[in-house]
A and B are shown apart, each in its own frame.
Chain A
């Protein structure tokens, strides 16, 4: 059977396969590795979410998705880096709530420099107090803050958590002093040690202490109850219609062609709905929350208008 004919046939079929592969590579996205830029160092909520999404996109699109951490300057180092990359869909990134905040706190950041591919998560802000605190719901807390000044710790200046405390004070006329700490964990510790009267933090930092009974959660600033906080009402249910969250989505540089954009959006939608993603993020108190690229872009614009008011 080892005739020249067979060899020729084999050679031709191999060449045509290679040629077909090349032709395929020319017009179909994706044909090479995708770089996924994370604006925070390895280990936090952004990194965890990004790596889980990247792993799912990798499975779906069949190319490697390389996660690159570029921390610094409230994330704007990473945002600026992505904006400068070619808009071919091979560079995408994780866009956190700083997308709505950065421009209001003096960073050179323009929301229109980006293509919005879809929101994937939300980590609602909660208001919590130590177990031995006299307050057991939001109304009691606000009532007390009307007669004396109450301090509320948060993870850092100009964060969603600080903004929640500011807005709550403005909305109700209560005397609340937001006290920024260097990260969510020390802010929660300050509340547990009764150094401050309460803390605004993410579910990730408070859920363990809540489950253990050392922390009381007074309210969740979200549309609906949180699975990690059974029995805790939302702020709206207690008569304070206020929602704040550390949300995040996936973006790329402005001007990604529509066909490529559609492929990425679809892949991100599937990733955000996958069980693997759910299993990776929920233990950290993060809720999967999907919005399409267009919806997320509109949401970011609305959030930005809100933060403009809170922060200036």
Chain B
């Protein structure tokens, strides 16, 4: 029989279906719970799946991976709290949409484009893994530095209200990213003798604090109740024909961005989501409403970050190098099952590659179906009085953050950043550039310094990939900064004849 039929037959067994079912439930719950990551779920599940057959075990683990990616978007849209860094860009337009009474529409669009992103990346995985993996190896420290610098230019475009305030926030983010140990020498920086600060500020705690807790405090402390807009109306669910047309272009652009970023080792769903959102904004006719509840924005963010899943799987399977932290755990399990990831896997066990692809696609379809059908019921919870909702959110954030490290220190960090987030919000300083700085800062610094250690300053400009990307970054900065000036001049010229 052909490897294709063998691969498909392998998953058409009742036990495998049962495993997929279990994976979907675990993954969705884990994804929705802010703070609990797919990595944690897969790591804990892998101790139980060890004794299963490889295909059954892969069914559980891959499905958790897929379903958590869907679940992740839900708290971003409904309560402005990204469950993991991968859904930061989802909050940009998802939460404003929810506030504008379009929560239902945002959830459905997010689920649809996440499925498109994953399936597009799986097509690439199943057809071109080996050459793509070779491309991935071309990204060394200097190339990574250039990618990160390009991503950093987004700071300008996400601070649409005031570039100065946005950049100030970005610099705050870059500064707090230096807290902890120096990535190259290992010396302590800004730790003030506090042991827990040695590993730096926990991403997830800072993100939940700045987004979720700050939003909660803002609503609780607003003394003008008529101005508070709880998400009471979910609005309609399904996009109109016109809206489908509108999201087609951003979805396409973002899928490309996600596929490319997914292949690059060390760059994941967070960077892809941000870049995808930014590129879609640049190409959109409705730039001005990005970040204020534009359906194109959420489509772009979620397509791009979901499209990295196949990329991670590609580097994992074709090189034996884990593409992200979930895959690092998966490799451990695969070796126990006697699956040897690497280029020869695609030659020796083509049916396994088909099985993995089929599992990912099937898990995506099932999760999508559940999302589309069950979402209205699940979201009924939001009909509760607003104080119950926020109480529940707070409890979930506390438990979720505690679970990341089993340490109250992490919870304190979340609460402190909640207060900081509230103050910044009241001053009109956006939170997203802070998170951007916090995530990208360490990547930029460590890769720049690695690159300098290896080749000296010349290494940054004499390699084609990094030189090109750095040039693009320069162009992006010039364009972004000059756009408002040009717009003002045009406006003045238009007025001149009067």
| Residues of chain A whose beta carbon lies under 8 Å from any beta carbon of chain B | 41-44, 47-48, 51, 68-74, 76-77, 80, 105-108, 151, 156-158, 177, 179-182, 185-186, 188-190, 192-193, 195-196, 204, 207-209, 211-214, 279-280, 283-284
Are B332 and A182 closer than 8 Å at their CB atoms? no
Are A71 and B405 closer than 8 Å at their CB atoms? yes
Are A70 and B407 closer than 8 Å at their CB atoms? yes
Q: Does B10 contact A (CB under 8 A)?
A: no
- A71-B405, A73-B197, A195-B141 given; 9 more Cβ-contact pairs under 8 Å: A41-B43, A43-B39, A70-B407, A182-B266, A208-B320, A214-B320, A214-B343, A283-B336, A284-B335
Contact residue among B39, B320, B322, B407 (Cβ-Cβ distance under 8 Å from A42):
B39
Q: Does B126 contact A (CB under 8 A)?
A: no
Q: How far is the CB of A51 from chain B (nearest CB, A)?
A: 6
Q: How far is the CB of B491 from chain A (nearest CB, A)?
A: 47
Q: Assuming the A-B contacts A185-B322, A283-B332, are A211 and B454 also in contact, with contact meaning beta carbons closer than 8 angstroms in the complex? A: no
Could you say which residues of chain A place their CB within 8 Å of the CB of B446?
Answer: 181-182
Are A157 and B181 closer than 8 Å at their CB atoms? yes
Q: Assuming the A-B contacts A177-B454, A179-B453, A182-B446, are A72 and B183 also in contact, with contact meaning beta carbons closer than 8 angstroms in the complex? A: no
Q: How far is the CB of A102 from chain B (nearest CB, A)?
A: 10
Type the 1/0 row for B323-359, where 1 means its CB is closer than 8 Å to any CB of A. Answer: 0010011011001100011111000000000000000
Could you say which residues of chain A place their CB within 8 Å of the CB of B195?
Answer: 72-73, 76-77, 80, 107-108
B207-221 with Cβ < 8 A to chain A: none
Are A43 and B450 closer than 8 Å at their CB atoms? no
Q: Assuming the A-B contacts A71-B199, A188-B321, are A195 and B405 also in contact, with contact meaning beta carbons closer than 8 angstroms in the complex? A: no
Q: Does B27 contact A (CB under 8 A)?
A: no
Q: How far is the CB of A184 from chain B (nearest CB, A)?
A: 9
Residue in A68, A80, A180 whose Cβ sees the most chain B Cβ within 10 Å: A180
Q: Does B383 contact A (CB under 8 A)?
A: no
| Residues of chain B whose beta carbon lies under 8 Å from any beta carbon of chain A | 39-40, 42-44, 46-47, 50, 136-142, 181-188, 195-199, 265-266, 315, 319-322, 325, 328-329, 331-332, 335-336, 340-344, 405-407, 446, 450, 453-454
20 A-B pairs whose Cβ atoms sit less than 8 Å apart in the complex: A43-B39, A43-B329, A69-B406, A72-B199, A72-B405, A77-B196, A107-B198, A157-B184, A177-B454, A185-B321, A188-B321, A189-B319, A189-B321, A192-B137, A193-B139, A204-B332, A209-B321, A209-B342, A212-B320, A280-B336
Q: How far is the CB of B306 from chain A (nearest CB, A)?
A: 22
Could you say which residues of chain A place their CB within 8 Å of the CB of B266?
Answer: 182, 186
Are B198 and A73 closer than 8 Å at their CB atoms? yes
Contact residue among A108, A157, A182, A185 (Cβ-Cβ distance under 8 Å from B186):
A157
Q: How far is the CB of A34 from chain B (nearest CB, A)?
A: 16
Are A43 and B328 closer than 8 Å at their CB atoms? yes
Are B196 and A208 closer than 8 Å at their CB atoms? no
Could you say which residues of chain B place their CB within 8 Å of the CB of A188?
Answer: 321
Q: How far is the CB of B362 from chain A (nearest CB, A)?
A: 25
Complex Cα gap A291–B322 (Å):
32
Contact residue among A74, A180, A204, A208 (Cβ-Cβ distance under 8 Å from B340):
A208
Could you say which residues of chain B place their CB within 8 Å of the CB of A158?
Answer: 186
Q: Which residue of B lies closest to A109 (CB)?
A: B195
Are B342 and A208 closer than 8 Å at their CB atoms? yes
Q: How far is the CB of A223 from chain B (nearest CB, A)?
A: 24
Could you say which residues of chain B place their CB within 8 Å of the CB of A190?
Answer: 140-141
Are B320 and A209 closer than 8 Å at their CB atoms? yes
Contact residue among A51, A195, A212, A280 (Cβ-Cβ distance under 8 Å from B454):
A195
Are B325 and A214 closer than 8 Å at their CB atoms? no
Contact residue among A106, A108, A157 (Cβ-Cβ distance under 8 Å from B183):
A157
Q: How far is the CB of B41 from chain A (nearest CB, A)?
A: 9
Complex Cα gap A212–B320 (Å):
9
Q: How far is the CB of B222 from chain A (nearest CB, A)?
A: 36
Could you say which residues of chain A place their CB within 8 Å of the CB of B450?
Answer: 179-181
Could you say which residues of chain B place their CB within 8 Å of the CB of A185?
Answer: 265, 321-322, 328
Complex Cα gap A189–B50 (Å):
27
Complex Cα gap A196–B407 (Å):
37
Could you say which residues of chain A place their CB within 8 Å of the CB of B182?
Answer: 157
Are B184 and A42 closer than 8 Å at their CB atoms? no
Which 8 residue pairs across A and B have the least CB separation, nearest first?
A: A195-B140, A212-B342, A157-B186, A208-B320, A193-B137, A42-B43, A73-B198, A43-B43
Q: Assuming the A-B contacts A80-B195, A106-B188, A157-B185, are A192 and B321 also in contact, with contact meaning beta carbons closer than 8 angstroms in the complex? A: yes
Q: Assuming the A-B contacts A157-B185, A209-B321, are A70 and B342 also in contact, with contact meaning beta carbons closer than 8 angstroms in the complex? A: no
Q: How far is the CB of A171 from chain B (nearest CB, A)?
A: 21
Could you say which residues of chain A place their CB within 8 Å of the CB of B197?
Answer: 73
Could you say which residues of chain B place their CB within 8 Å of the CB of A204?
Answer: 332
Q: Which residue of A lies closest to B336 (CB)?
A: A283
Q: How far is the CB of B3 from chain A (nearest CB, A)?
A: 19
Are B407 and A77 closer than 8 Å at their CB atoms? yes
Are A43 and B453 closer than 8 Å at their CB atoms? no
Are B137 and A182 closer than 8 Å at their CB atoms? no
Q: Assuming the A-B contacts A42-B40, A42-B44, A157-B184, are A186 and B343 also in contact, with contact meaning beta carbons closer than 8 angstroms in the complex? A: no
Complex Cα gap A157–B44 (Å):
28
Q: How far is the CB of B156 from chain A (nearest CB, A)?
A: 27
Could you say which residues of chain A place their CB within 8 Å of the CB of B184?
Answer: 157, 180
Are B454 and A70 closer than 8 Å at their CB atoms? no
Could you say which residues of chain B place their CB within 8 Å of the CB of A74?
Answer: 181, 198-199
Are B198 and A189 closer than 8 Å at their CB atoms? no
Q: How far is the CB of B192 from chain A (nearest CB, A)?
A: 13
Are B265 and A189 closer than 8 Å at their CB atoms? yes
Complex Cα gap A252–B247 (Å):
58
Complex Cα gap A189–B314 (Å):
14
Q: Which residue of A lies closest to B40 (CB)?
A: A42
Q: Which residue of A lies closest to B332 (CB)?
A: A284
Could you say which residues of chain B place their CB within 8 Å of the CB of A209?
Answer: 319-321, 342
Q: Which residue of A lies closest to B453 (CB)?
A: A179
Complex Cα gap A280–B315 (Å):
24
Are B265 and A186 closer than 8 Å at their CB atoms? yes
Are B320 and A73 closer than 8 Å at their CB atoms? no
Q: How far is the CB of B464 from chain A (nearest CB, A)?
A: 14
Complex Cα gap A196–B450 (Å):
10
Q: How far is the CB of A249 from chain B (nearest CB, A)?
A: 21
Complex Cα gap A43–B137 (Å):
24
Are B319 and A192 closer than 8 Å at their CB atoms? yes
Are A182 and B140 closer than 8 Å at their CB atoms? no
Are B139 and A72 closer than 8 Å at their CB atoms? no
Are A72 and B198 closer than 8 Å at their CB atoms? yes
Q: How far is the CB of B433 from chain A (nearest CB, A)?
A: 23
Could you say which residues of chain B place their CB within 8 Å of the CB of A43?
Answer: 39-40, 42-43, 46, 325, 328-329, 332
Q: How far is the CB of A144 from chain B (nearest CB, A)?
A: 16
Complex Cα gap A209–B316 (Å):
11
Complex Cα gap A188–B50 (Å):
26
